[in-house]
Structure 1
Amino acid sequence: MRILQKYLKGGISSHRYKQYIICSLLALFMVGGVCGEYFTNCSSLQPGQYLCTEVNIDPRTQQPRGCTKEGWAKVLCTSAPGIICTETNNGTFEREIPCKYTNGYSYETALLLSVFLGMFGVDRIYLGYYAVGLAKFCTLGFLFLGQLIDIILIATQTVGPADGSHYVISYYGAGIEVIRMDNMTYRMPQEDWGVVGRGIKEL
């Protein structure tokens, strides 16, 4: 409105006023999503700008197909309306998501072997711990105490296959995500509450 008033009073040239009108209309069209789409490399999109709902689950592994030993699998994702991917020239693209690499060791099988044949070390042998399995076989499951411990360890998924892979568990089943502290995580420094308290009292 102020620009219009200045134009009517002669404070702005007609050329400048036309430029302002054109720029305003373009901005309005872009905000409304009328003037074309936004082209970008979809691998750089942030969460909320795309959805990966078409996860192709392999029935043998209960993980996304193509899950690598490094724990990544490619799935087909869809960008938000109005975003076109330069890789495919449409709104779909492939993105890597985390997965759990499995090598054929069934969680149910391991737990049943531990309950019924754990005193003979069959559960440990099945998981690839041959030395521990042989020791349990020779000592009758460490006089059944080792069998009880292994039942708890396998049931809580603390002990997994010896090759470092995950159990084959239903994709939407009772899988446990173990969070460990490593070089990528650290403890946040905590303030000395006594010092803070004394500082407040002094103030």
Structure 2
Amino acid sequence: MEYSTVISYYFERIQVENRVCPKDIECSELGRECLQCAFNCTCVYGSTLTVMCQPKEGVICKGAKKFPVEMRCLYCYQTEPWQHSCLGTDQCLAVSSPRATFTSNCTVQSDILCMGNRVFPKKLPCNWTSGYQWSTALLLSITLGGFGADRFYLGHWQEGIGKLFSFGGLGVWTIIDVILIAIRYIGPADGSLYI
């Protein structure tokens, strides 16, 4: 795992653990990150069990301080994809340096109770897109490429300005860009894939 990934993982973990929990609500309605539960780590994976929970130290709430909570026997990293959210795809540059996967920091939703760390690293596939169409980029390059429209469309606005003020590099830059976009060498500036 890369050093920056490890640092951001622990920073995100500290943020979640130090999140201010709401006050003056029933203890049983607190988000699961605000609770301390006595887990049975020898339970059968996927089975339903009841655990006794209480608010973490310093959390103020109303009602019973110890209460039962039903949960499925699984660790947080085993939750379903819709039960956790993962941070962006900034490490997934699909066009310039293709990778099969990237490591993202994921956080379990507040209403899900699971064992282990609520923030965890997860490998995700690098197949994301931002909605740019290759055919649109190629059409813009052929028709309005001399004015930098193709570069503006793909988010390369610095090159677009240069192309606009140099009249497409007097046509040379325009021809080169048509070829580079046609062979998909130039992609969206955010590193995503074409649709």
Higher gyration radius (CA): 1
* Bigger relative contact order (CA 8 A; separation at least 6): 2
TM-score (norm 2): 0.37
**Structure 1 length as normaliser, TM-score?**
0.36
